[in-house]
Amino acid sequence: MDTNSQLFIFKTDIAELCPNCEVYKLLNRHEGVQQWNIDTDDVDRVLRIESATLSALEIISIINSLGHECQELN
């Protein structure tokens, strides 16, 4: 992880992830996202995003804009 990067962790309702899914495509091409992964087997469907430029609120807004719930875990 880059020294300027932050790791954000979210609870989501993303039940499935595939290369054709909008979430997958957007997170892969977003210039502010350095790395990301989601655990769809976890009850909270945990999304982890590493970014040096995005805030938690910006990430929540991005995920919400795709029709998914997203809440930061502390």
> pTM of the predicted model, to two decimals?
0.92
Q: Tell me the mean pLDDT in the region 4-29.
A: 95
pLDDT score of 73: 97
pLDDT tens-digit readout, 20-49: 999 999 999 999 999 999 999 999 999 999
What number of other Cβ atoms are within 10 A of residue 71's Cβ?
12
Q: Which residues pair with 9 in a beta bridge?
A: 48
Domain layout of the chain by residue ranges: 6-72
Residue linked to tokens 């990430």 = 59
Which band of pLDDT confidence, cut at 50, 70 and 90, is reported for residue 74? confident
CATH class of this structure's domain 6-72: alpha beta
Residue among 65, 12, 56, 66 nearest 32 (CA): 56
> Is the Cβ–Cβ distance between 28 and 44 less than 8 Å?
no
**Cα-only R_g, the chain:** 11
What number of other Cβ atoms are within 10 A of residue 26's Cβ?
14
